Structure 1
Amino acid sequence: MTASELRLADNSTTADLATYLGRARTIEDDGAVRLQARGSTLAVWVGVLKGRGLTGEGTVLGLRVLALAEPAEVDEVVPLSAVTDRLARMGTTSSVLPVPPMTRQTTWAAISPPQSGWSPLGGVPVEQIRDAAHAGIAEVASGAPEGSGAAAVESLRHRVWNRSLHASGGADGLPAGVAFGAYALGFLTGDVAQVFGAGRWFRVTTDAGHVLVR
């Protein structure tokens, strides 16, 4: 049976989730979040960049994995705003998160990264990722002045964030979209981000979270 509420590990986990989803709303305020609980682990997925075509090439996702105080089974895609509103009402004294009853359709939720088979490809300096994020954000801002059409802006974003980071080793060819995701979601911690590959997917991992790109 699907749980109607999730009991987070503690109040600090609640605050962590609120911060993460608050950052996700700066990317897409009316976006969605996938709450995927299995046992005592909660995977929280958010969309960063939309992909193109039937295979969703260029899709960028953010992922935080949090602990639950009680096991649960949930797999729902719900509005970001519905979860952040509930977290705000919980404040700092509760760790019981009601699962919103409404669902949200989003293309990225249908594109599931593999759960196993990831191979290490090397590491990328966090400063390189941060620099790529800053440069890309500046290029999009300067290349899409006020009044630019939605299609033109989307085309520019696609060009900028699908460029290679030119990382060393097996991580060469890593799309720059992971830099935007890691920066926007607050994942740029430590000195080196680890890169993994599985099929057509890359995963960039730090202690703060994961960014996945197809």
Structure 2
Amino acid sequence: MAERGLTVADAGERDDLAQFVGRAVRLDPDGIVRLRARSDGQVGAWASTGFDVIAARVVRGELVPADTTVNSADLLTALAVQRADSVDPGFPVDASWRSALPPEDGFVHVDDVPASVLAELSEQGVALAKEHAGPQGPPASLLDSVVLTVHGGGHEVAVPLRCVFALSGMGFVGERGDELVRVRATGGWLRLDARWGSVLRRRHPQIPLLIG
């Protein structure tokens, strides 16, 4: 592998990653993707969505360097245009990723929610967003509104509308009526696992690091 590159040997997984990044670009054209080699020999991809929610995907591959952040559009171009086993993911913009990544494991299963319920909540949210949208889009108070609360595994988890929007906008929920979305959590993170992918958000505001 070159000094800088992402290698995904399986064509199906490359196409899957390209679709994932393409959806992220549609939601956040100026967004970024963080790529990181995992301890299990796979590569994790975390994409901004424009909703202050992270979308996640994992593929079998190799990454050099082992942790890098690139512009979503550049990564999409590399995957969709070059269509090679190994590509340059784009110019590094590591300083643009200003938060910690969610952990690879340690999530507790809280509950399962029918995908149809989340689809309905998304439709209702879109209607409200159109009604209350301003020059900068929907108000943060609307996006932060809790639309679902689930209990289980020792956790009570509030799911805000912004997570439902991100899940729907990324196309992660399929059309099968019996489909379920799994709600998982750690002390610090909320995770929604759907058929086609996951979205994650911090459960509590991140405390800034003050250096004096």
TM range (shorter): 0.7 to 0.9
Match of 2:10 in 1: 10
Superposed displacement of residue 201, structure 1: 1.3
Superposed displacement of residue 48, structure 1: 2.2
Answer yes or no: is the 8 Å Cα contact 2:56–2:198 preserved in 1.
yes
Match of 1:106 in 2: 96
Distance 2:165 2:14 in 1: 25
- Structure 1 runs, 4 residues or longer, greater than 4 Å off: 70-73
Distance 1:143 1:122 in 2: 31
Residue 90 of structure 2: SS of its match in structure 1? coil
User: Cα deviation per residue 1:139-177 (whole Å; 9 max; x = unaligned)?
Assistant: 222322xxx433xx36x1x22222222244336522222
The one-letter code matched in structure 2 to 1:61 is I
Match of 2:135 in 1: 149
The one-letter code matched in structure 1 to 2:190 is F
Match of 2:59 in 1: 66
Distance 1:204 1:123 in 2: 9
Residues 1:47 and 2:48 aligned together: yes
Residue 169 of structure 1: SS of its match in structure 2? strand
| Greater CA drift, 179-188 or 36-45 | 36-45
Match of 1:116 in 2: 105
For structure 2, the 5+ residue unaligned runs are 203-212
Distance 1:116 1:14 in 2: 24
| 2:181 paired residue among 193, 198, 208 | 193
User: Cα deviation per residue 1:164-204 (whole Å; 9 max; x = unaligned)?
Assistant: 22244336522222211111111113611111111131111
Structure with greater contact order relative to length (CA < 8 Å, sep ≥ 6) = 1
Match of 1:76 in 2: 68
Match of 2:147 in 1: 165
TM-score by length of 2: 0.81
- Report % sequence identity: 24
Distance 2:73 2:191 in 1: 26
Distance 2:80 2:63 in 1: 23
Residue 174 of structure 1: SS of its match in structure 2? strand
Superposed displacement of residue 43, structure 1: 0.6
For structure 1, the 5+ residue unaligned runs are 51-58
Q: Which has the higher helix share?
A: 1
Cα distance 1:169–1:90, how it changes in 2: closer, same or farther (>3 A)? same
Residues 1:206 and 2:194 aligned together: yes
| Greater CA drift, 94-103 or 76-85 | 94-103
